[in-house]
Amino acid sequence: MKFPLGTRSTTPGQDAVLLLVRFVLGTVMVAHGWQKLDQQGLAGTADGFAAMGIPFASAAAAFAIALEIGGGVLIALGALTPVIGALWALHMAGAWWFVHRDAFFAAEGGYELVLVLGVLGLLLAGMGAGRLSVDGLLTRRRPVDRQPELRAS
pLDDT for the residue 50:
98
Domains of the chain: which residue ranges? 12-141
Give pLDDT, residue 1: 37
Contact yes or no for 88/117 (Cβ under 8 A): yes
- Report CA dihedral (30, 35, 41, 43) to the nearest 10 degrees: -90
pLDDT single digits (tens) 120-145: 999 999 999 999 999 999 987 655 55
pLDDT over threshold 60, residue 99: yes
Mean pLDDT of 83-109: 97
Tell me what pLDDT residue 47 has.
98
Q: Decide: 90 and 127 in contact? Cβ < 8 Å.
A: no
Measure the CA–CA gap between 142 and 100, rounded to whole angstroms.
Answer: 43
pLDDT at 146: 56
CA distance 134 to 153: 35
pTM of the full structure: 0.86
Q: Render pLDDT for 19-69 as a digit per residue (tens, 0 to 9).
A: 999 999 999 999 999 999 999 999 999 999 999 999 999 999 999 999 999
